């Protein structure tokens, strides 16, 4: 398992790899296969939730054997913090007309579930035919959030994670595997 030390603001953060690039690749292939079966004959609009989902979404759509369109929405719940701010703000809306369409929302991570609940409510207002959510990572959430999520890459513990699209103070999104924060101390 790889380790990663990040020095930032006079603190030393120790991260440890929890999901390798090979494991991510294998799971994304499986999810792509499942979605291709479930959406056979349909043309969903796949909506990526920026910023975090961009790598997962890019890999996922290359593993689909169906026709689809893509769009993006940008929201923010974390900002630069290590934990959710408790409220979601819309930064960029979708551009497609989603009324009557099958929608697949792509998240990198579901943590408190606040973002997914917000997105579900917001997109529902435009009367799509269906909405399903796929997330690469999922922390433990309450039932009302669980029931909104159809596809999960990996269930993980509640620690802070980075890599494969997920940031640490807006950096490190390009790491090919997922790391979690083991400890941090004054340096």
Residues with catalytic function: 111
CA distance 21 to 176: 6
Min CB(156)–ligand PRP separation in Å: 12
Contact pick of 18, 28, 45, 114 for ligand PRP (by CB under 6 A): 114
Give yes or no for residue 163 binding ligand PRP (CB under 6 A).
no
State the DSSP string of 75-91.
EESSTTSSS--S--EEE
For the bound state, the minimum distance from the C-beta of residue 45 to ligand PRP, rounded and expressed in Å, comes to 18
Query: CB of 154: closest distance to ligand PRP in angstroms?
Result: 15
Q: Scanning residues 65 to 104, which ones bind ligand PRP (CB under 6 A)?
A: 76-78, 84
* Torsion angle of C-alpha atoms 78, 60, 151, 111, degrees rounded to 10: -10
Q: Does 108 bind ligand PRP (CB under 6 A)?
A: yes
Q: According to CB under 6 A, which one of 115, 128, 149, 179 is a site residue for ligand PRP? A: 115
Residue 109 interacts with ligand PRP (CB under 6 A): yes or no: yes
Q: Residue 20, interface with ligand PRP (CB under 6 A)?
A: no
CB-wise, 99 or 170, nearer to ligand PRP? 170
For position 167 contacting ligand PRP by CB under 6 A, the verdict is yes
H-type helices in the chain, by residue range?
21-38, 54-61, 114-124, 143-146
Q: According to CB under 6 A, which residues from 50 to 69 bind ligand PRP?
A: 51-52
Cis before 51 (ω within 30): yes
What 3-state class would DSSP assign to 113? Answer: coil
33 φ, ψ (degrees, to nearest 5): -65, -45
Alpha helices in 62-185 (DSSP H): 114-124, 143-146
Binding-site ranges for ligand PRP (CB under 6 A)? 49, 51-52, 76-78, 84, 107-115, 167
């Amino acid at each position: 398992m790889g380790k990663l030390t990040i020095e930032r603001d006079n603190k030393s953060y120790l991260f440890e790899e929890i999901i390798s690039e090979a494991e991510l690749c294998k799971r994304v292939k499986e999810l792509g296969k499942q979605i291709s079966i479930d959406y056979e004959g349909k043309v969903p609009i796949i909506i990526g939730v920026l910023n975090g989902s961009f790598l997962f979404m890019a890999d996922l759509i290359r593993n689909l054997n169906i026709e689809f369109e893509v769009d993006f929405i940008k929201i923010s719940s974390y900002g630069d913090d290590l934990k959710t701010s408790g409220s979601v703000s819309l930064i960029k809306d979708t551009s497609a007309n989603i009324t009557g369409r099958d929608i697949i929302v792509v998240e990198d991570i579901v943590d408190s579930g606040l973002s997914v609940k917000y997105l579900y409510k917001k997109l529902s207002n435009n009367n799509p035919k269906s909405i399903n959510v796929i997330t690469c990572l999922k922390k433990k959430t309450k039932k009302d959030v669980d029931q909104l999520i159809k596809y999960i890459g990996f269930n993980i513990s509640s620690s802070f994670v980075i890599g494969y699209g997920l940031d640490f103070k807006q950096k490190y999104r390009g790491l090919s595997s997922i790391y979690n924060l083991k400890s941090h101390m004054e340096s």
